[in-house]
Structure 1
Amino acid sequence: MAGSEQKEKIIRFYKGTEGAETAVKLVDLAEQVKRSQKFRLSGFLDPYGQEIAETVAANYPGIRVDFHGGYHGAERQRAMFIDEAFGGNPDFNIVVIKASWNGQFEHIGHRDVLGALMGQGIERDRIGDIIMGAATARILADEQMGTYLLDNLTQIGHSGVSCVLDDLSNIAPKEERCKEIRATVASLRVDSIAASGYGTSRSHAAADIAADKLRLNWQPVKNAAQAVKEGDVLSMRGRGRVEVVEIKGQTKKGRTVVVLKRYI
Protein backbone atom coordinates (compact mmCIF):
# COMPACT_ATOMS: atom_id res chain seq x y z
CA MET A 1 0.00 0.00 0.00
CA ALA A 2 1.36 3.44 -0.94
CA GLY A 3 2.34 5.80 1.86
CA SER A 4 -0.47 8.26 1.17
CA GLU A 5 -3.01 5.41 1.20
CA GLN A 6 -1.66 4.14 4.53
CA LYS A 7 -1.93 7.61 5.99
CA GLU A 8 -5.48 8.20 4.77
CA LYS A 9 -6.61 4.75 5.90
CA ILE A 10 -5.50 5.33 9.51
CA ILE A 11 -6.78 8.91 9.70
CA ARG A 12 -10.14 7.83 8.28
CA PHE A 13 -10.39 5.02 10.85
CA TYR A 14 -9.98 7.42 13.80
CA LYS A 15 -11.92 10.32 12.29
CA GLY A 16 -14.67 11.52 14.61
CA THR A 17 -13.21 9.72 17.63
CA GLU A 18 -11.39 11.05 20.68
CA GLY A 19 -8.14 9.85 19.10
CA ALA A 20 -8.44 11.69 15.77
CA GLU A 21 -5.93 14.45 16.56
CA THR A 22 -3.47 12.00 18.10
CA ALA A 23 -3.71 9.71 15.07
CA VAL A 24 -2.81 12.57 12.70
CA LYS A 25 0.27 13.49 14.79
CA LEU A 26 1.47 9.89 15.03
CA VAL A 27 0.97 9.17 11.34
CA ASP A 28 3.04 12.26 10.54
CA LEU A 29 5.85 10.94 12.78
CA ALA A 30 5.76 7.56 11.04
CA GLU A 31 5.90 9.28 7.65
CA GLN A 32 8.96 11.26 8.80
CA VAL A 33 10.69 8.06 9.92
CA LYS A 34 9.89 6.43 6.59
CA ARG A 35 11.56 9.31 4.76
CA SER A 36 14.57 9.74 7.07
CA GLN A 37 15.12 6.04 7.95
CA LYS A 38 15.90 7.15 11.51
CA PHE A 39 13.50 7.73 14.43
CA ARG A 40 10.92 10.18 15.76
CA LEU A 41 9.61 10.69 19.30
CA SER A 42 6.03 11.55 20.27
CA GLY A 43 4.80 13.49 23.25
CA PHE A 44 3.42 11.64 26.27
CA LEU A 45 0.46 9.45 25.34
CA ASP A 46 -2.30 7.99 27.49
CA PRO A 47 -3.02 4.24 27.05
CA TYR A 48 -5.45 4.94 24.19
CA GLY A 49 -2.81 7.03 22.43
CA GLN A 50 -0.32 4.19 22.87
CA GLU A 51 -2.82 1.83 21.26
CA ILE A 52 -3.09 4.22 18.30
CA ALA A 53 0.72 4.32 18.03
CA GLU A 54 0.80 0.52 17.83
CA THR A 55 -1.85 0.60 15.11
CA VAL A 56 0.16 3.16 13.15
CA ALA A 57 3.39 1.13 13.42
CA ALA A 58 1.57 -2.03 12.32
CA ASN A 59 0.59 -0.25 9.09
CA TYR A 60 4.15 0.82 8.24
CA PRO A 61 6.35 -2.18 7.36
CA GLY A 62 9.94 -1.67 8.49
CA ILE A 63 8.98 0.65 11.36
CA ARG A 64 8.63 -0.46 14.97
CA VAL A 65 7.40 1.45 17.99
CA ASP A 66 8.85 1.42 21.52
CA PHE A 67 7.36 3.05 24.63
CA HIS A 68 8.79 4.57 27.81
CA GLY A 69 7.34 6.79 30.51
CA GLY A 70 10.41 7.33 32.68
CA TYR A 71 9.86 4.37 35.04
CA HIS A 72 8.42 0.87 35.02
CA GLY A 73 4.64 0.86 35.05
CA ALA A 74 4.16 4.47 33.90
CA GLU A 75 0.66 5.11 32.56
CA ARG A 76 1.58 7.99 30.26
CA GLN A 77 4.42 7.08 27.91
CA ARG A 78 6.25 8.49 24.92
CA ALA A 79 6.21 6.51 21.68
CA MET A 80 9.36 6.20 19.61
CA PHE A 81 8.94 5.19 15.97
CA ILE A 82 12.19 3.63 14.73
CA ASP A 83 13.23 2.49 11.29
CA GLU A 84 14.37 -1.12 11.74
CA ALA A 85 17.47 -0.37 9.66
CA PHE A 86 18.52 2.42 12.05
CA GLY A 87 21.52 1.33 14.11
CA GLY A 88 21.49 4.01 16.78
CA ASN A 89 20.22 3.86 20.36
CA PRO A 90 18.13 7.03 20.78
CA ASP A 91 17.06 8.38 24.16
CA PHE A 92 13.47 9.09 25.22
CA ASN A 93 14.57 12.44 26.72
CA ILE A 94 12.48 12.15 29.89
CA VAL A 95 13.30 13.91 33.16
CA VAL A 96 11.57 14.13 36.53
CA ILE A 97 11.05 17.38 38.41
CA LYS A 98 10.37 17.17 42.14
CA ALA A 99 8.13 19.95 43.44
CA SER A 100 7.99 20.43 47.22
CA TRP A 101 5.85 22.58 49.54
CA ASN A 102 5.05 23.02 53.22
CA GLY A 103 2.58 20.24 53.91
CA GLN A 104 1.59 21.64 57.31
CA PHE A 105 -0.45 24.44 55.80
CA GLU A 106 -1.77 23.15 52.47
CA HIS A 107 -3.02 19.89 51.06
CA ILE A 108 -2.21 19.63 47.36
CA GLY A 109 -3.54 16.81 45.20
CA HIS A 110 -2.91 15.50 41.71
CA ARG A 111 -5.67 17.69 40.27
CA ASP A 112 -4.11 20.81 41.81
CA VAL A 113 -0.70 20.05 40.29
CA LEU A 114 -2.16 19.32 36.86
CA GLY A 115 -4.28 22.49 37.08
CA ALA A 116 -1.22 24.60 37.86
CA LEU A 117 0.61 23.16 34.85
CA MET A 118 -2.31 23.61 32.47
CA GLY A 119 -2.80 27.12 33.87
CA GLN A 120 0.62 28.01 32.49
CA GLY A 121 -0.49 27.00 29.01
CA ILE A 122 1.51 23.76 29.00
CA GLU A 123 0.21 21.20 26.54
CA ARG A 124 -0.78 17.91 28.15
CA ASP A 125 1.48 15.81 25.94
CA ARG A 126 4.55 17.59 27.36
CA ILE A 127 3.82 16.08 30.78
CA GLY A 128 3.88 12.41 31.78
CA ASP A 129 2.74 10.88 35.05
CA ILE A 130 2.43 13.03 38.17
CA ILE A 131 3.40 11.01 41.25
CA MET A 132 2.16 12.42 44.54
CA GLY A 133 4.11 12.02 47.79
CA ALA A 134 4.14 13.62 51.24
CA ALA A 135 4.16 17.35 50.41
CA THR A 136 5.85 16.53 47.10
CA ALA A 137 4.94 15.84 43.50
CA ARG A 138 7.25 14.19 40.99
CA ILE A 139 6.40 15.45 37.51
CA LEU A 140 7.62 13.48 34.49
CA ALA A 141 8.30 15.72 31.50
CA ASP A 142 10.37 16.01 28.35
CA GLU A 143 13.80 17.59 28.89
CA GLN A 144 12.91 21.01 27.51
CA MET A 145 9.74 21.20 29.60
CA GLY A 146 11.70 20.08 32.66
CA THR A 147 13.99 23.09 32.29
CA TYR A 148 10.94 25.35 31.97
CA LEU A 149 9.36 23.92 35.13
CA LEU A 150 12.55 24.46 37.14
CA ASP A 151 12.40 28.16 36.26
CA ASN A 152 8.67 28.80 36.25
CA LEU A 153 6.73 26.42 38.52
CA THR A 154 6.77 28.45 41.73
CA GLN A 155 3.18 28.10 42.91
CA ILE A 156 0.46 25.45 43.06
CA GLY A 157 -2.88 26.77 44.24
CA HIS A 158 -2.08 29.19 47.06
CA SER A 159 1.14 27.46 48.03
CA GLY A 160 4.67 28.38 47.01
CA VAL A 161 6.66 25.42 45.71
CA SER A 162 10.33 24.77 45.06
CA CYS A 163 11.45 22.56 42.18
CA VAL A 164 14.59 20.50 41.71
CA LEU A 165 15.76 18.05 39.09
CA ASP A 166 15.33 14.58 40.57
CA ASP A 167 16.70 11.20 39.46
CA LEU A 168 14.43 8.82 37.56
CA SER A 169 15.89 5.94 39.60
CA ASN A 170 14.25 7.42 42.70
CA ILE A 171 10.81 6.50 41.34
CA ALA A 172 9.66 3.14 42.62
CA PRO A 173 8.22 0.82 39.94
CA LYS A 174 4.43 0.80 39.98
CA GLU A 175 3.04 -2.43 41.36
CA GLU A 176 -0.45 -3.15 40.10
CA ARG A 177 -2.70 -5.11 42.38
CA CYS A 178 -4.94 -7.48 40.51
CA LYS A 179 -7.81 -9.74 41.46
CA GLU A 180 -9.57 -12.31 39.31
CA ILE A 181 -13.35 -12.18 39.14
CA ARG A 182 -15.49 -15.05 37.90
CA ALA A 183 -19.05 -14.01 37.23
CA THR A 184 -22.16 -14.94 35.30
CA VAL A 185 -23.86 -12.15 33.37
CA ALA A 186 -27.17 -11.87 31.58
CA SER A 187 -25.41 -10.57 28.47
CA LEU A 188 -22.09 -9.18 27.25
CA ARG A 189 -23.40 -5.62 27.37
CA VAL A 190 -20.81 -3.19 28.68
CA ASP A 191 -23.01 -2.09 31.60
CA SER A 192 -23.37 -5.72 32.70
CA ILE A 193 -19.62 -6.41 32.51
CA ALA A 194 -18.83 -3.12 34.29
CA ALA A 195 -21.27 -3.98 37.08
CA SER A 196 -19.54 -7.34 37.65
CA GLY A 197 -16.03 -5.93 37.35
CA TYR A 198 -16.54 -2.97 39.66
CA GLY A 199 -18.90 -4.70 42.09
CA THR A 200 -21.90 -2.48 41.50
CA SER A 201 -25.39 -2.68 40.00
CA ARG A 202 -26.20 -2.44 36.30
CA SER A 203 -28.21 0.73 36.93
CA HIS A 204 -25.20 2.28 38.68
CA ALA A 205 -22.94 1.21 35.80
CA ALA A 206 -25.41 2.71 33.32
CA ALA A 207 -25.35 5.97 35.30
CA ASP A 208 -21.53 6.01 35.14
CA ILE A 209 -21.75 5.54 31.37
CA ALA A 210 -24.28 8.38 31.06
CA ALA A 211 -21.92 10.58 33.10
CA ASP A 212 -19.05 9.76 30.67
CA LYS A 213 -16.99 8.10 33.41
CA LEU A 214 -16.41 4.74 31.74
CA ARG A 215 -13.99 3.98 28.90
CA LEU A 216 -13.89 0.86 26.73
CA ASN A 217 -10.43 0.32 25.22
CA TRP A 218 -9.76 3.94 26.24
CA GLN A 219 -12.61 5.31 24.16
CA PRO A 220 -15.81 6.82 25.61
CA VAL A 221 -18.70 4.37 25.93
CA LYS A 222 -21.59 5.81 23.94
CA ASN A 223 -24.23 3.22 24.76
CA ALA A 224 -24.80 0.95 27.78
CA ALA A 225 -25.85 -1.82 25.37
CA GLN A 226 -22.48 -1.80 23.58
CA ALA A 227 -21.05 -5.35 23.41
CA VAL A 228 -17.68 -6.39 24.79
CA LYS A 229 -15.40 -9.25 23.76
CA GLU A 230 -12.37 -11.11 25.07
CA GLY A 231 -9.35 -8.85 25.46
CA ASP A 232 -11.39 -5.66 25.91
CA VAL A 233 -10.38 -3.31 28.73
CA LEU A 234 -12.75 -1.14 30.74
CA SER A 235 -11.34 1.76 32.71
CA MET A 236 -12.74 4.29 35.13
CA ARG A 237 -10.75 7.09 36.75
CA GLY A 238 -10.15 6.35 40.41
CA ARG A 239 -11.49 2.78 40.15
CA GLY A 240 -8.87 1.06 38.02
CA ARG A 241 -9.14 -1.16 34.97
CA VAL A 242 -11.14 -4.32 34.25
CA GLU A 243 -9.91 -6.71 31.57
CA VAL A 244 -12.20 -9.26 29.95
CA VAL A 245 -9.87 -12.27 30.15
CA GLU A 246 -12.16 -15.07 29.01
CA ILE A 247 -15.74 -15.72 27.91
CA LYS A 248 -16.40 -19.34 28.86
CA GLY A 249 -19.89 -20.08 27.54
CA GLN A 250 -23.35 -20.33 29.02
CA THR A 251 -24.89 -21.85 32.11
CA LYS A 252 -28.01 -24.03 32.03
CA LYS A 253 -30.03 -20.91 32.81
CA GLY A 254 -28.66 -19.14 29.75
CA ARG A 255 -26.29 -16.75 31.58
CA THR A 256 -22.78 -16.17 30.22
CA VAL A 257 -19.74 -17.12 32.33
CA VAL A 258 -16.91 -14.58 32.19
CA VAL A 259 -13.48 -14.29 33.77
CA LEU A 260 -12.40 -10.74 34.52
CA LYS A 261 -9.27 -9.21 36.01
CA ARG A 262 -9.53 -5.99 37.95
CA TYR A 263 -6.36 -3.90 38.26
CA ILE A 264 -6.38 -1.40 41.10
Structure 2
Amino acid sequence: MSKNIDEKDILISRISDLYYLSMERNKPEFTSFLNESEISICIEALKDFGITDYCFFGGYENSQRKVLGFFAKEEEYPISIIEYKYRKQDKLTHRQFLGTILSTGLNRNVIGDIVCMEGKSYVFVLENQAEYILSQINRIAKVGVKSRIVTLDNFDYTPTFKYYDYTVASLRLDAVVAAITGLSREKVRTLMLSGNVFKNYIEDTNISDKVSQDDIISIRKYGKFILDDINGLTKKGRQKIKIKQYI
Protein backbone atom coordinates (compact mmCIF):
# COMPACT_ATOMS: atom_id res chain seq x y z
CA MET A 1 0.00 0.00 0.00
CA SER A 2 1.38 3.44 -0.91
CA LYS A 3 2.19 6.15 1.60
CA ASN A 4 -0.53 8.40 0.13
CA ILE A 5 -3.20 5.72 0.60
CA ASP A 6 -2.01 5.10 4.17
CA GLU A 7 -2.21 8.82 4.96
CA LYS A 8 -5.67 9.05 3.39
CA ASP A 9 -6.96 6.12 5.44
CA ILE A 10 -5.45 7.57 8.63
CA LEU A 11 -7.13 10.93 7.97
CA ILE A 12 -10.52 9.33 7.28
CA SER A 13 -10.25 7.22 10.43
CA ARG A 14 -9.27 10.27 12.44
CA ILE A 15 -12.22 12.42 11.37
CA SER A 16 -14.60 9.53 11.99
CA ASP A 17 -13.21 9.15 15.52
CA LEU A 18 -13.49 12.90 16.13
CA TYR A 19 -17.11 12.95 15.00
CA TYR A 20 -18.17 10.14 17.32
CA LEU A 21 -16.09 11.62 20.15
CA SER A 22 -17.93 14.89 19.66
CA MET A 23 -21.24 13.06 19.80
CA GLU A 24 -20.22 11.14 22.92
CA ARG A 25 -18.90 14.18 24.80
CA ASN A 26 -21.58 16.52 23.47
CA LYS A 27 -18.99 19.19 22.64
CA PRO A 28 -17.13 20.42 19.55
CA GLU A 29 -14.08 18.56 18.29
CA PHE A 30 -11.52 19.85 15.81
CA THR A 31 -8.75 18.68 13.50
CA SER A 32 -5.49 20.52 12.94
CA PHE A 33 -5.15 22.70 9.83
CA LEU A 34 -5.86 20.84 6.60
CA ASN A 35 -4.60 21.58 3.09
CA GLU A 36 -6.82 21.46 0.00
CA SER A 37 -6.11 17.79 -0.69
CA GLU A 38 -7.00 16.85 2.87
CA ILE A 39 -10.14 18.99 2.78
CA SER A 40 -11.20 17.21 -0.40
CA ILE A 41 -10.66 13.79 1.22
CA CYS A 42 -12.67 14.87 4.27
CA ILE A 43 -15.59 16.20 2.22
CA GLU A 44 -15.89 12.96 0.26
CA ALA A 45 -15.56 10.79 3.39
CA LEU A 46 -18.11 12.82 5.35
CA LYS A 47 -20.51 12.52 2.43
CA ASP A 48 -20.03 8.74 2.39
CA PHE A 49 -20.58 8.61 6.18
CA GLY A 50 -23.76 10.68 5.88
CA ILE A 51 -22.34 13.24 8.33
CA THR A 52 -23.64 16.79 7.90
CA ASP A 53 -22.96 18.53 11.23
CA TYR A 54 -19.53 19.90 10.37
CA CYS A 55 -17.85 23.01 9.04
CA PHE A 56 -14.43 24.01 7.69
CA PHE A 57 -13.03 27.31 8.96
CA GLY A 58 -9.55 28.79 8.71
CA GLY A 59 -9.93 31.91 10.81
CA TYR A 60 -11.34 34.18 8.11
CA GLU A 61 -13.48 34.03 4.99
CA ASN A 62 -11.92 32.35 1.94
CA SER A 63 -8.91 30.98 3.81
CA GLN A 64 -7.02 28.25 1.97
CA ARG A 65 -5.99 26.10 4.92
CA LYS A 66 -8.86 25.18 7.23
CA VAL A 67 -9.72 23.36 10.43
CA LEU A 68 -12.57 20.83 10.36
CA GLY A 69 -14.93 21.17 13.29
CA PHE A 70 -17.90 19.08 14.38
CA PHE A 71 -20.89 20.79 16.03
CA ALA A 72 -18.92 24.03 16.30
CA LYS A 73 -19.51 27.75 15.84
CA GLU A 74 -16.83 29.86 14.16
CA GLU A 75 -15.92 31.61 17.41
CA GLU A 76 -15.23 28.22 19.04
CA TYR A 77 -12.51 27.18 16.59
CA PRO A 78 -9.11 26.91 18.34
CA ILE A 79 -7.39 29.39 16.03
CA SER A 80 -5.22 32.34 17.03
CA ILE A 81 -3.93 35.14 14.82
CA ILE A 82 -0.38 36.38 15.29
CA GLU A 83 0.35 39.82 13.88
CA TYR A 84 3.94 40.62 12.91
CA LYS A 85 4.96 44.23 12.28
CA TYR A 86 8.18 45.41 10.65
CA ARG A 87 9.52 48.23 8.50
CA LYS A 88 7.58 48.78 5.28
CA GLN A 89 10.78 48.62 3.24
CA ASP A 90 11.40 45.05 4.47
CA LYS A 91 9.48 42.84 2.06
CA LEU A 92 8.94 39.57 3.89
CA THR A 93 7.37 36.58 2.14
CA HIS A 94 5.10 33.66 2.97
CA ARG A 95 8.02 31.30 2.48
CA GLN A 96 10.22 33.20 4.94
CA PHE A 97 7.55 33.17 7.64
CA LEU A 98 6.75 29.50 7.12
CA GLY A 99 10.39 28.45 7.17
CA THR A 100 11.10 30.39 10.36
CA ILE A 101 8.09 28.95 12.20
CA LEU A 102 8.83 25.39 11.10
CA SER A 103 12.44 25.82 12.28
CA THR A 104 11.10 25.99 15.85
CA GLY A 105 10.18 22.31 15.56
CA LEU A 106 6.46 22.65 14.88
CA ASN A 107 4.56 20.59 12.31
CA ARG A 108 2.99 22.15 9.22
CA ASN A 109 -0.53 21.29 10.39
CA VAL A 110 -0.16 23.74 13.29
CA ILE A 111 -0.02 26.63 10.82
CA GLY A 112 -2.89 27.95 8.72
CA ASP A 113 -2.75 30.79 6.22
CA ILE A 114 0.06 33.32 6.21
CA VAL A 115 -1.03 36.69 4.83
CA CYS A 116 1.79 39.10 4.00
CA MET A 117 1.17 42.81 3.57
CA GLU A 118 3.23 45.99 3.52
CA GLY A 119 4.88 46.37 6.90
CA LYS A 120 2.88 43.63 8.58
CA SER A 121 1.84 40.00 8.22
CA TYR A 122 -0.70 37.75 9.87
CA VAL A 123 -0.15 34.09 10.69
CA PHE A 124 -3.07 31.83 11.64
CA VAL A 125 -2.04 29.09 14.08
CA LEU A 126 -3.58 26.56 16.41
CA GLU A 127 -4.45 28.32 19.64
CA ASN A 128 -2.42 25.98 21.87
CA GLN A 129 0.80 26.84 20.01
CA ALA A 130 0.41 30.61 19.72
CA GLU A 131 2.29 31.59 22.88
CA TYR A 132 5.12 29.19 22.03
CA ILE A 133 5.53 30.73 18.58
CA LEU A 134 5.51 34.23 20.09
CA SER A 135 8.25 33.27 22.52
CA GLN A 136 10.47 31.70 19.85
CA ILE A 137 10.48 34.28 17.06
CA ASN A 138 11.67 37.88 17.05
CA ARG A 139 13.30 37.88 13.60
CA ILE A 140 12.15 36.69 10.20
CA ALA A 141 14.93 36.29 7.61
CA LYS A 142 17.22 38.61 9.65
CA VAL A 143 14.48 41.26 9.87
CA GLY A 144 13.42 42.32 13.37
CA VAL A 145 9.71 41.90 13.98
CA LYS A 146 7.26 42.84 16.73
CA SER A 147 4.54 40.29 17.35
CA ARG A 148 1.30 40.01 19.27
CA ILE A 149 -1.88 37.94 19.27
CA VAL A 150 -4.81 39.85 17.78
CA THR A 151 -8.48 39.25 17.09
CA LEU A 152 -10.16 38.99 13.71
CA ASP A 153 -11.21 42.64 14.09
CA ASN A 154 -7.52 43.58 13.76
CA PHE A 155 -7.13 41.51 10.60
CA ASP A 156 -7.55 44.25 8.03
CA TYR A 157 -7.30 42.33 4.82
CA THR A 158 -8.99 42.60 1.44
CA PRO A 159 -7.86 40.02 -1.11
CA THR A 160 -6.45 41.41 -4.35
CA PHE A 161 -6.87 39.84 -7.75
CA LYS A 162 -5.51 39.83 -11.27
CA TYR A 163 -8.14 39.59 -14.00
CA TYR A 164 -7.86 37.66 -17.26
CA ASP A 165 -10.15 37.31 -20.25
CA TYR A 166 -10.16 34.02 -22.17
CA THR A 167 -12.17 32.27 -24.83
CA VAL A 168 -12.69 28.53 -24.48
CA ALA A 169 -14.33 25.87 -26.62
CA SER A 170 -16.69 24.98 -23.76
CA LEU A 171 -17.16 25.31 -20.02
CA ARG A 172 -15.53 21.96 -19.39
CA LEU A 173 -13.04 22.08 -16.54
CA ASP A 174 -10.15 20.88 -18.69
CA ALA A 175 -10.78 23.65 -21.22
CA VAL A 176 -10.77 26.32 -18.51
CA VAL A 177 -7.64 24.89 -16.86
CA ALA A 178 -5.92 24.81 -20.27
CA ALA A 179 -6.76 28.49 -20.79
CA ILE A 180 -5.45 29.47 -17.34
CA THR A 181 -2.23 27.46 -17.51
CA GLY A 182 -1.47 27.69 -21.23
CA LEU A 183 -1.00 23.92 -21.30
CA SER A 184 -2.23 21.59 -24.01
CA ARG A 185 -5.41 19.63 -23.29
CA GLU A 186 -3.33 16.43 -23.06
CA LYS A 187 -1.03 17.96 -20.43
CA VAL A 188 -4.07 19.27 -18.57
CA ARG A 189 -5.48 15.75 -18.59
CA THR A 190 -2.28 14.49 -16.95
CA LEU A 191 -2.39 17.37 -14.46
CA MET A 192 -5.96 16.57 -13.46
CA LEU A 193 -5.53 12.81 -13.28
CA SER A 194 -2.52 13.37 -11.01
CA GLY A 195 -4.78 15.09 -8.46
CA ASN A 196 -3.48 18.62 -9.01
CA VAL A 197 -6.76 20.38 -9.80
CA PHE A 198 -9.50 21.24 -7.30
CA LYS A 199 -12.96 22.66 -7.94
CA ASN A 200 -14.56 24.29 -4.91
CA TYR A 201 -11.92 22.63 -2.70
CA ILE A 202 -12.69 19.12 -3.96
CA GLU A 203 -10.09 17.25 -6.00
CA ASP A 204 -11.52 16.89 -9.51
CA THR A 205 -10.15 14.28 -11.91
CA ASN A 206 -13.22 14.34 -14.16
CA ILE A 207 -11.86 15.79 -17.42
CA SER A 208 -15.32 16.62 -18.78
CA ASP A 209 -16.69 18.14 -15.58
CA LYS A 210 -18.50 21.45 -16.12
CA VAL A 211 -17.72 24.72 -14.36
CA SER A 212 -20.11 27.49 -13.40
CA GLN A 213 -19.83 31.14 -12.50
CA ASP A 214 -18.19 31.73 -9.08
CA ASP A 215 -16.60 28.27 -9.02
CA ILE A 216 -13.21 28.29 -7.29
CA ILE A 217 -10.49 26.47 -9.23
CA SER A 218 -7.19 25.70 -7.53
CA ILE A 219 -4.28 24.38 -9.58
CA ARG A 220 -1.10 23.26 -7.85
CA LYS A 221 1.90 25.42 -8.77
CA TYR A 222 -0.38 27.86 -10.62
CA GLY A 223 -2.61 29.32 -7.92
CA LYS A 224 -6.21 29.85 -6.93
CA PHE A 225 -8.75 31.24 -9.41
CA ILE A 226 -12.43 32.16 -9.58
CA LEU A 227 -14.62 31.96 -12.68
CA ASP A 228 -15.76 35.53 -12.30
CA ASP A 229 -18.01 35.94 -15.32
CA ILE A 230 -19.37 34.14 -18.37
CA ASN A 231 -19.69 36.69 -21.16
CA GLY A 232 -21.51 34.97 -24.00
CA LEU A 233 -20.07 33.68 -27.27
CA THR A 234 -17.64 34.96 -29.86
CA LYS A 235 -18.62 35.08 -33.54
CA LYS A 236 -16.92 31.69 -33.92
CA GLY A 237 -19.00 30.20 -31.13
CA ARG A 238 -16.31 30.12 -28.45
CA GLN A 239 -17.27 30.88 -24.85
CA LYS A 240 -15.97 34.14 -23.40
CA ILE A 241 -15.02 34.00 -19.72
CA LYS A 242 -13.37 36.26 -17.14
CA ILE A 243 -11.06 34.68 -14.56
CA LYS A 244 -9.75 36.36 -11.45
CA GLN A 245 -6.66 35.09 -9.66
CA TYR A 246 -5.80 35.56 -6.00
CA ILE A 247 -2.46 37.38 -5.62
CA distance in 2, matches of 1:172, 1:164: 15
1:137 match: 121
Pick one of 220, 227, 236 that aligns with 2:207: 227
1:235 Cα deviation after fit? 2.0
Pick one of 224, 240, 243 that aligns with 1:262: 243
What is the number of residues matched between the two proteins?
A: 234
Q: Does the aligned pair in 2 maintain the 1:53–1:65 contact within 8 Å?
A: no
1:26 match: 15
Q: Does the aligned pair in 1 maintain the 2:171–2:210 contact within 8 Å?
A: no
Pick one of 145, 148, 156 that aligns with 1:161: 145
Correspondences of 1:80-229 after superposition (within 5 Å): 80-82=69-71, 91-104=76-89, 106-172=90-156, 174-175=158-159, 177=161, 183-185=167-169, 190=174, 192-198=175-181, 200-202=182-184, 209=191, 214-217=196-199, 227-229=207-209
Question: Gaps spanning 5+ residues in structure 1: where?
Answer: 1-11
1:9 match: none
Structure 1 stretches of at least 4 aligned residues deviating more than 4 Å after TM superposition: 17-21, 173-182, 186-189, 203-206, 217-222, 242-246, 257-261
CA deviation profile, 1:58-113 (whole Å, cap 9, x unmatched): 34446511222222222222111129xxxx99711222111223454x43211110
Question: Gaps spanning 5+ residues in structure 2: where?
Answer: none
When normalised by structure 1's length, the TM-score is 0.67
Q: Does the aligned pair in 2 maintain the 1:242–1:263 contact within 8 Å?
A: yes
Q: Does the aligned pair in 2 maintain the 1:234–1:241 contact within 8 Å?
A: yes
1:56 match: 45
1:187 Cα deviation after fit? 11
When normalised by structure 2's length, the TM-score is 0.71
1:130 Cα deviation after fit? 0.8
2:29 match: 40
RMSD between aligned residues? 4.3
1:183 Cα deviation after fit? 3.4
CA distance in 2, matches of 1:89, 1:133: 25
1:150 Cα deviation after fit? 1.5
1:221 Cα deviation after fit? 8.9
Percentage of matched positions with identical amino acids: 16
1:115 Cα deviation after fit? 0.8
CA distance in 2, matches of 1:138, 1:187: 36
CA distance in 2, matches of 1:243, 1:17: 34
CA distance in 2, matches of 1:40, 1:76: 17
Asked whether 1:67 is paired with 2:56, we answer yes
